[in-house]
Amino acid sequence: MEISGEKYGWSFRIKDKKRVIIYLLPQDRFFRVSLVFGQKATDMVLNSTIADNIKTELKNARAYAEGRGIRIDVKDKSSLKDIEELIKIKLAN
């Protein structure tokens, strides 16, 4: 667990060696998932069966040196399959 300070609360990040795979951030009655994708992984996401709203957010995300970041609000189980697929793509790149 990573303590981010009183102003921000806490977050949990899952790492693979030196890189962060996924950030989990608690919100009021839900949590937010945050992921960053390099160009190769971004292309894989855009060509996958992941929900169109996630693809649109990724496509419209600003590109930084480390990649494009997206955030997904998880309020029920409906997005878990897509998040699992995003993690697989992230791990493959």
Residue extents of the structural domains in the chain: 2-92
Model pTM? 0.83
Q: What is the pLDDT of residue 68?
A: 95
Task: State which fold the 2-92 domain adopts.
Answer: Aspartate Aminotransferase, domain 1 (3.90.1150)
Q: What is the pLDDT of residue 11?
A: 73
User: At CB < 8 A and 24+ separation, what contacts does 77-80 make?
Assistant: 79/51, 79/54
Mean pLDDT of the chain: 88
Burial class (CB in 10 A: 0-12, 13-18, 19+), 40: exposed
The SS3 call for residue 41 is helix
